[in-house]
Amino acid sequence: MKQETSNMNRRNALKGLGTTVATLVVAPTIAGGTKVEGDSQPAVLENPVNKYPQPPYPKQKQPHPGLASKMDPLPDHGEKSYKGSGRLQGRKALITGGDSGIGRAAAIAYAREGADVAINYLPAEEEDAQQVIKLIEQAGRKAVAIPGDITDKEFCQKLVEKTVAQLGGLDILVNNAGYQKSNLSIMDISDESFDATMKTNIYALFWITKAALLHLPEGASIIATTSVQAYDPSENLFDYAQTKAANVAYVKSLSKQLGPKGIRVNGVSPGPVWTPLQVCGGQEQDKLENFGGDTPLQRAGQPAELASIFVQLADNGGSYATGQIYGAAGGGGHP
């Protein structure tokens, strides 16, 4: 009995010592909050209301497809602000509409997170595209520029083939390019304009995705840019809003097909974001002046503010997210 008591006391003492050691190890982490060795100054909080220019914005108009470099104020795509941490090291991404706007922000972020990136754009957007190519290369990653019109089925197939050949594979597909033209009446929408909207925003996703699925491995991600227009359409974007609702269905349905194959499909739903889409006929001039001013944050969003969402949806850390629509609309929108 004495021996048993002695053993019990010894076990209790060791148990207490273990608890003490665990406390010593854990306590500094708890006391230090998120402090990590090598940290210097704490992050500076930013007021999202006045972080970027607020309306009124200058009236301005560009011919389609428009250039970010000629907008006033210039959009922020994260050129100076986005800092990567290796979350997408070695990944291979294709981004349509990667020359400007949200696609450009995603391209910069992906490169700084360690991915090689191919961007597609219209030949008229070459000036903007070359700026993006330079930024990707400055991040130490491979950049591939593939100009062409995604309303053409043959080109969509070649786009994927060229990407795979030049990057050595493909595991992130971002269907971002879109066509938007404001019309105050359905009677003002020409068949040609309606056709361009449907082919750019719906057909191209179908063609590119089919071509990409021949190459996407398990663990790959597909991301589509949708819009708040899918949930609360504006009267002047009758045809565009329909395509964005179709993009939501694309995400919801395709994610169910590809989930068992280990490929995730998600969407990003922007609100009023300051991109060339708005100044080349996407908005009426009188609405452009106060673009985004009716949101709780009282301004238009900037492409850079959505970049981290695209990173999260491509990152292995977001592995349980599929069939989801992530909103970024300044306090408006539904997803």
Q: Where are the domains of the chain?
A: 71-328
pLDDT, residue 30, reads 29
DSSP string, 196-216: HHHIIIIIHHHHHHHHHTTTP
What's residue 23's pLDDT? Answer: 37
Comparing 130-139, 154-163, 251-260, 284-293, which segment has the lowest mean pLDDT? 284-293
Beta bridge partners of 94: 118, 173
The overall longest dimension of the chain from CA atoms, in Å, is 98
Alpha-carbon distance of 172 to 175, in angstroms, equals 10
Q: What mean pLDDT is predicted for residues 150-176? A: 98
- Give the residue numbers annotated as catalytic, written as ranges: 240
Contact in structure between 227 and 237 (CB atoms under 8 Å): no
Angle 99-105-111 from CA coordinates, rounded to 5°: 90
Q: First vs last Cα of the chain: how many Å apart?
A: 67
**Is 41's pLDDT higher than 50?**
yes
Mean pLDDT over 33-45 rounds to 61
Distance CA(268)–CA(270), nearest Å, equals 6
pLDDT (mean) for 112-133: 98
Mean pLDDT of 30-41: 44
The predicted structure's pLDDT at residue 141: 98
* Burial zone of 43 (CB within 10 Å; 0-12 exposed, 13-18 middle, 19+ buried): exposed
Q: What is the pLDDT of residue 37?
A: 45
| Chain mean pLDDT for the chain | 90
Mean pLDDT calculated for residue range 149-153: 98
The answer to whether the beta carbons of residues 130 and 108 sit under 8 Å apart is no
Residue 271 to residue 282: CA distance in whole angstroms: 13
Model confidence at 174: pLDDT above 60: yes
Cα–Cα separations (whole angstroms), residue 255 to 8, 222, 224, 264, 325? 56, 9, 11, 6, 11
Residues 74-111 have pLDDT tens digits of 999 999 999 999 999 999 999 999 999 999 999 999 99
Give the C-alpha separation, 274 to 205, whole Å: 23
In the chain, the percentage of residues whose pLDDT exceeds 90 is: 83
With H, G, I as helix, E, B as strand and everything else as coil, classify residue 130: helix
Contact in structure between 267 and 226 (CB atoms under 8 Å) = yes
Q: Please state which of the ranges 80-84, 92-96, 155-159, 283-287 shows the lowest mean pLDDT.
A: 283-287
Domain 71-328: state its class.
Answer: alpha beta
Average pLDDT over residues 131-156: 98
Q: What is the pLDDT of residue 16?
A: 44
pLDDT tops 80 at residue 68: yes
pLDDT score of 11: 44
pLDDT of residue 39: 55
DSSP, collapsed to helix, strand or coil, labels residue 326 as: strand
